[in-house]
Structures are given as C-alpha cells and as structure tokens.
Chain A
Amino acid sequence: MATAAEKEGVVLLDFWVSPFGQRCRIALAEKGVEYEYKEENLSDKSPLLLKMNPIHKKIPVLIHHGKPICESLVIVQYIDEVWSNNPLLPSDPYERAKARFWADFVDKKVYECGTRLWKLKGEAHEEARKDMIEILKLLEGELGDKKYFGGETFGFVDVAVAPFTAWFYTYETCGKFSVDEECPKLAAWAKRCKERESVSKSVHDPHKVYEFVGKLKKKFGLE
C-alpha cells in the first residue's frame, strides 16, 4: 500500500543544517505535503543527487514525480504554485514583487556575510560584523511592526529568512553583538517563527548550528 509520501511523489534531497534545505522543509510543512526526506552525505554525494543536480551537485533538490527542481527559492515558489492552499506569496503583483525582492536580498547577503563573519579575522572580520548588523537592520526595517514579513500571515519572505534565525546565535557569538539589542523587532519575529510547527520541526537548535560551524572552522584550520 502506498504511503502518503509515495502518493504525493515528493522527495527532498537535503542536508540537516542547511538553511536552504530548511526553507523547502518549512514550505512543504506549511502546505501539509507529505514527502520523503533523504539526508545527503556532502563528502560522499549520492548518485541520485549527482543525477538530479548535475550542474551544481548541491542540495536542496526537490524531486516531484521523478522531475528535479533545484535552487531553494525556485523550489519554494514551485511548492507555492503546485499546492495552492495557504499561499506563501501575496496575490497583489506589487506585494509579490516586494516579497521576491526581499527573499532575493536574503539570498544575496545573509549566508555570504555570515560565512565571512566566522571565517575571517582582523579588519575583514570587523567589516563582516558591520555588514551583518546592517543587513539585519534592513530586514528589520522591512518587517516593521508586522507580525510576519507577510503581514498577518506567514509568507514567502518569512520562509526565506526563518532558517537563518538558528544562525543568529553563531553570528552574535562570532560578531560579538546582540540581535535583541540591535534589532529587537527581528528578534521578536524570530521567537514567533519558532512557535510555528513548520519552523520548529525543520530548523535546528542554534547551539547545534554553532557546534557545526565550530567543526567547519577546525576543518579550515581556523581554530
């Protein structure tokens, strides 16, 4: 007898701590879609991953009825379009454009800056710290007094940013700043996100992320 996951025909190739993979998990959970989760060993990539994403060989990859979709925000948009319940993108074209802009901003800025923050030292580290605070303040500016980036409802930008809330602790520790102090509204939003089942089930404990980065640092000879 086919499981619910098999009936939907959805498989997610992922890596536990990846914020990009977590976006997909959150989106699928928001839509109530059953799927098969496959954890990849990134130092020994599966033949399935290499076949489904031959160009980049990266996770996440969503496989729907055998067809692969790559790039996390492309995947989230696909999920939003195929499963039309609980829409993540607003219906108004201008609001949609704004949501896409901010999700794209997160993609361009957060992970790259975060990496500089934990990898680099000296002046470069100081610059990364300034940049990260500026990025978070810009996000807070967009959030304003809203409950979520999507307004009253959890939306596309919320999905894009939520996984990074688990990285706040790492950024704070590496950058010696406090998100609570610099961006209190964003910090409050992060707490609200964690109360959502889709997020709490997809995103890991911040200390686990910090541990993971610690291991990466050792691997790169930075500790």
Chain B
Amino acid sequence: MLTSKATSDPRLPSNIFLHSNFRENTERMAGDLELKLLGSWASPFAMRARIALNLKGVGYELLKEVSGTKSELLLKSNPVYKKIPVLIHHGKPICESMIIVQYIDEVWAAAGPSILPSDPYERAIARFWIVYIDDKWFPSSLRTLRGLNEEAKAEAEEQLANALPLLEDAFPKCSKGKDFFGGETIGYLDIALGCYLGWIKAIEKMTGIKALDEAKTPTLVGWAERFCSGDAVKEVMPEADELIEFTKLIQAIMNAAPGRQNMHVSKNDR
C-alpha cells in the first residue's frame, strides 16, 4: 500500500500527488455540509449511492478517496471494513452500498419516486437478485480485469454467461412490461446491476468477450442503454476508455512493483 509520504518514483504519474492536495481542501469545505459521500470515480459501489442521491435530487459533497491511502475520515467512519462508499449524514456514517441506497430511499421518501418496490414480495425478489449479483459479479469482473491468466478469463466469461440469462429471464417478471427492473423508473435492482455497466463495457473492449450480447440477452441490452442514458446515471457512469486507461495504469504499477497489492489510482478531477 502506498504510504502517504510522497515519493519521487518516476514511474508514478505526478497527478496522484496533486490529488492529495485537492482532497484536503475538499475536507475543509465539507464541514459546512450535512451530507457527504466518501467515494471514488471508478467504484461501482460508490456509484450506487450517487445514483440514488441523484434520483432524489439531493445535494451532497463528494469526498474522493486518494488511491493507495485511506483517509482518517474513512478509517473513522468505516472502522469495520475501511472501504468506500460511506455516506455521512449529520456526522453519522452509513456503510455498505445497498444499505446506503435504502437509507437514502427512506430518508428522502418524499423527494422522488420510490427506489425500492412497495410490495414486500417484490422487495424480496429485488433483494434476492442483489445478493446473487454481488456474490457472482464483481469478483469475476475483477479477475477478468487483472487478465493475468487465460484460465481466469475463461472462468469469468462462464460466470457471466451463466448469470446474465437468469437476469434476462427475471426482467419481464420484475418490470411488468415497463422500462426498468423497478418499473417505470430506475429502482433498487437497476442500481445494483447497472453500476457495473461501465466496467462491463471496459472488459468487453479489453478482452473481446461479448458480455452483453444482443443475440443472447436482448432485453438486458435494451435495459442497459436506457439505464446509462438516464439523467441520474449519465454524469456518474465512467466511460469505458477511462476505465481501460485506469486498468493499464494499475497493471503497469503492479508489474513495476510486484507485491504491491490493492493499489488503485485516482483519475484527477472527477
């Protein structure tokens, strides 16, 4: 893990350190605001919280964690996992992305359409799929991303090939003929699954794997387009090319300094 002491390692882009200064300034300003989100531009989990806040039209201060370090505020706010995202509301931290989304839905219930379905059975179905997605998806996407061995890629491809048709199948039952899993507007399951779309596109470009295939899962392809073009999503969804650049940077750093695990790099100003 990168220590907070700046080094003059020539392999590291200088904008990493610029970023630390930016963050300090943000922290000083943030004391005035009652709603802060500790996150990062590339994190699909942080994106979930941002989409929910956008859906409710709620203003917040985004505190970007500097890659390779964990801020004092993060360690204090999420001592159990020390991970983003963390929502801090009136000084009180809420952790775990889908728990944050539910909190936002409950606190700002009047501020916009409901994110969670109102029917208990539909809520249970959405929650079931979210457990499934978070168990199967992110780990496999990351493995493909590292792209260190063909076996990992093949395994990830198989996981995606197994998971997506199930979701394709679930869509009509959840959406009941409307645009999203949540119905007319973006809902809980849409957010949980949709946050991965930037990374999915990046992986498709890097590996040539067709994850979202018109021929195999046409409904999901249509849904993905609608999701990504939604107002609440557009501004927080990273572009595939940015994520590819980000990945190459990590890989370069990891190759140059083997044994440096869990290193991430901030893209400046996002």
Contact = CB atoms under 8 A, between A and B. Distances in A.
A50 interface: no
B94 A94 contact: yes
B80 A93 contact: no
Interface string B63-82: 00000000000000000100
B132 to A, nearest CB: 7
A78 B95 contact: no
Given A94-B89, A101-B95, A78 B132 contact: no
A68 B102 CA distance: 23
A104 interface: yes
Contacts of A1: none
- Interface-centre pick from B95, B103, B124 (highest chain A CB count, 10 A): B124
A96 B94 CA distance: 10
Contacts of B100: 97
Contacts of B132: 55
Interface string B114-153: 0000001101100110011000000000000000000000
B192 to A, nearest CB: 13
Interface stretch (A8-16, A69-77, A145-153): A69-77
Contacts of B89: 94
A55 B95 CA distance: 28
A43 B7 CA distance: 58
A84 to B, nearest CB: 10
Interface residues of B, number: 21
B166 interface: yes
A199 B115 CA distance: 34
Contacts of A70: 128
B120 A78 contact: yes
A25 to B, nearest CB: 18
Sorting the interface of chain A by its residue count into under 10, 10 to 19, 20 to 34 or 35 or more gives 20 to 34
A100 interface: yes
B99 interface: yes
A100 B100 CA distance: 10
B61 interface: no
B157 interface: no
Contacts of B106: 93, 96
What is the interface of chain A mostly: helix, strand, loop, or mixed? helix
A55 B166 contact: yes
A138 interface: yes
Given A55-B166, A94-B103, A105-B80, A81 B92 contact: no
Nearest to A64: B121
A108 to B, nearest CB: 9
B96 interface: yes
B107 interface: yes
Contact of B103 (A55, A82, A96, A138): A96
Interface string A38-73: 000000000000000001000000001001011100
A96 B106 CA distance: 10
B92 A78 contact: no
Nearest to A75: B124
A77 B131 CA distance: 14
Nearest to A108: B81
Given A100-B96, A101-B96, A77 B127 contact: yes
A72 to B, nearest CB: 10
Contacts of B96: 100-101, 104
17 contacts: A55-B132, A55-B166, A69-B121, A69-B124, A74-B124, A74-B128, A74-B131, A78-B120, A81-B120, A94-B89, A94-B94, A96-B106, A97-B100, A101-B94, A101-B99, A104-B96, A138-B80
Given A101-B96, A105-B80, 6 more contacts: A64-B121, A67-B121, A74-B127, A81-B120, A93-B107, A96-B106
